[in-house]
Structure 1
Amino acid sequence: MADKYTMPRLDFESPLVAALFEIERLRADIGTGDTPRDTFVELHQLFDLVMSVVSARIEGNHTTVYDALDQIDDSPKSGADQLREITNIAATARFIDSLPPDAPLTHTLIREIHRRVVDGLTREGDPTPGAYRQKEVAITNSAHVPPTWVTVHAEMSALLDFANESKPLHEQMLQIAVAHHRFVWIHPFRNGNGRVSRLFTYAMMRRTIFARRGFSALNPTAVFGNDRDAYITALERADDLSDAGTVAWAEFFVRGIRDDIARLLELQRHAFVIDELVGPALESLRRDGLTSRDEHATLRAALESGVVKAGDLEEVVPGTASHRSRFIRNLRERSLLQQAEEGPRFYRLSLARGPLAPRLIRRLDALGYLPRMLSDD
């Protein structure tokens, strides 16, 4: 089993080495931007919902991202089977976010991720949620034969030992790429392996390249959703566990992560968020007659400052304090504003829910942030 986790030898002139160096350069800037933290976190939550749709779609779920926005709520137990699959993935990502970034990856954690992912599902469920498989399985449309169930626990122990190893910074992305493939290669569960492997990879990214940066980790599912066929083909090239196949898979994975980190850094720039993302979405609400001039000005003020309080809006919303209170309450009831953490009289934009969310999705798509898999939505 040790050979599976020997880091492949790399040609210094290879595209993979160049991409790894580029990631090192980019990640030095993670967490250094001026976008208000609450704004960034909520954009991350919106992006996580989109990535949950992508992860489910890779497995054959055809729910559109807009259907998910319209119908999904905060409970992982609601909705039809396809919606529940998406909600489960999103809720499990939030569960991972609640863990200490440096928490080790354990059998208990992996099985808990699986239990949450398949909870209550019919078509994409598992008869033994949260338990490694105890039967032989085959992977549809794949020549790879997963190891016998008798060795799954031992195989996963070796994988987790490797995933928890402390690697030099320049090796961490390669470590993550290898671990993702080996998880899929082991195929430890009867169903749900793809969804769990992507969340496992997300957990690895939190504890390595995003550790102690103070920002939520990049969800790597975007990489896999850009071209599902290329993703599967790249994975299959590594199934012989050779250096050449593993490097080919790692090149696919690392190039995608490099491009997504570059996009993430743009979201850290408040000017970009204002001018290119949220600002145009607010303008489209006003243009379509869904917000008045005063409402638009209020929402724009919240965008630019991150948080506003009623007293800040005297010039934007003239009149009495009670009038402004009713005005703000109306925006909150329409899920355009929400209470901020600073206190009951402080407000910020609602980005991940409400009328702004689908317009932000369209802007993210226009800016090239969304996988091609969602292009027909």
Structure 2
Amino acid sequence: METGMTSVPGTTIAIYDSPHQFEPLLPQKRLDELVAKTRAVFEKAHELRGALCPPAREALRELVREMNSYYSNRIEGQSTHPANVSKALKRDFSDDPEIAQRQRIAVAHIEAERELEALHLTEAQALRSDFLLRAHRSLYGRLSAEDRTTSEGRIVEPGRIREADVSVGRHHAPAFASLPKFLARMDQVYGQAQGVDNVLTMIAAAHHRTVWTHPFLDGNGRAARLQTHTALSRLSGGLWSVNRGLARNRDRYYERLSNADMPRHGDLDGRGNLSEKMLWEWCDYFIDLCEDQVSFMARMFDVGGLRDRVKALVLVRSQSAEFRDYRTEAVLPLLHVLLSGSVSRGDFSQMTGLGERAARKIISQLLRDGLLVSQSHRAELRIGFPLDALNILFPNLYPEAAAANID
């Protein structure tokens, strides 16, 4: 099921069998540079969370879950169009068996992520190997045996450590019999993550060493990204996506992972078997990626720019027969719901300044289109972020959603 990684099970090859062979698990030099970048990410993430009202945070969190699923599966070469993912969440599956399978995998990822986030774990708890196994089980346990069958005909068992030796590209993964020792060593180091200064370095290094260890027969990348997302969730609040950054340049992601596989480059390159310099560069790349993603999302929710884009969306749609009930009077109440929180239908109507009938038409249209959501006819109105509005509301956030669906 995973592409970009070639597994050759059942062969006897000279591979790693002792945890000292994948040391260092953390870089030891130039830590001040990583700390400074980490603090900047924390500051921006805190500002972003403070800028959004609770209903907007929840709406964005749901959108980011869909993005995480799409981008993680895209990294593996198994994505389907975002519109298909959105349909699958409503149990609307394609008649094409391949598309339907990819829809089921996407939904399984979203549901697994929601379950794992709800555990409210610390970074240290999320970086432990028992959680990694749970992440793998949470994802693949939602899929049928058919959907868990690899192109080689092997069935992936949810949460089960592999029982065969594998080669991943040019990298010989640790002997399967030695995996418990490697995972235990990772727990000793990454299971101690705490504080602000080193947490992103811990998460980054754990991501690499997890993929390097290749604990499962298949699904290592997906499970590692679920673990990484969960470890970041206390910081991110689920409001920005590392998967988006990784997928936007998949080749660079794999290149950086591969570079950190390198053996030590002489006596000045740390004291472990693997290159400390390359591990540092991977961590630096990962922290930069976090900063880029949180900064991008913060720009999207800048009040001035957001006001202009809401106006543009309403104006563009008001010129279309398809959206005949859009009127510029909807801009102010829409902004209020987006920035301040949910409101009653009566209050929304009053903010339009229109008569009752015209205001009802606007509300009905916005509910049909998903810009407003409500649990019942009497419940308050909350903001929604439908896929077909993202190209105007949040340009370049999720450009694939606006592309033609050619699946």
Same topology, TM > 0.5: yes
SS at match of 2:163: coil
Residue 89 of structure 2: which of 62, 73, 76 is its match?
A: 73
Normalising by structure 2, we get a TM-score of: 0.75
- Among residues 355, 372, 377, which one is paired with 1:318 in the alignment? 355
How do residues 337-356 of structure 1 correspond to structure 2 at under 5 angstroms?
A: 337-339=372-374, 344-351=378-385, 356=386
Equivalent in 270, 281, 287 of residue 248 of structure 1: 281
Q: Does residue 288 in structure 1 map to residue 320 in structure 2?
A: yes
With structure 1 as the length reference, what TM-score do the two structures score? 0.81
CA RMSD of aligned residues (A): 3.4
- Alpha-carbon contact 2:24-2:276 (below 8 Å) kept: no
CA contact (8 A) 1:225 1:371 kept: no
Residue type of the alignment partner of 1:260: Q
The DSSP-based 3-state class of the residue aligned with 1:72 is helix
Quick one: which amino acid aligns to residue 9 of structure 1?
Answer: Q
The one-letter amino acid paired with 1:274 is: R
Instruction: Describe the superposition over 1:83-124 as per-residue Cα deviations: whole angstroms up to 9, x where unpaired.
Output: 112122122221222122438235443223212323222455
Residues 35 and 198, structure 2, Cα contact 8 Å, conserved in 1: no
Measured against aligned partners, the alpha-carbon deviations of 1:180-216 in whole angstroms (never above 9, x if no partner) come to 0011011111111111111111111124x44xxxx33
**Mapped partners of 1:72, 1:183: distance in 2:** 30
1:38-187 alignment to 2 at 5 Å? 38-69=55-86, 71-74=87-90, 80-102=100-122, 104-105=125-126, 106-118=128-140, 119-120=143-144, 121-122=147-148, 126-139=155-168, 142-187=169-214
Question: After superposition, what is the alpha-carbon deviation per residue over 1:5-35, rounded to whole angstroms, capped at 9, x for unaligned?
Answer: 5421333786x566345335434534221x3
Determine whether 1:199 maps to 2:226.
Answer: yes
Structure 1 residue 45, shift from structure 2 partner: 1.5
CA distance in 2, matches of 1:275, 1:135: 57
In 2, the alpha carbon distance for the partners of 1:185 and 1:252 equals 17
Give the match for residue 4 of structure 2: none
Structure 2, unpaired ranges of 5+: 1-18, 263-273
Change (3 A) 1:301 1:190: same
Task: From the superposition, tell whether residues 99 and 273 of structure 1 become closer, same or farther in structure 2 (CA, over 3 Å).
Answer: farther
For 2:286 and 2:221, the matched residues in 1 are separated by 15
Query: Is the contact made by 1:337 and 1:350 (CA closer than 8 Å) also made in structure 2?
Result: yes
* 1:307/1:340 contact within 8 Å kept: no
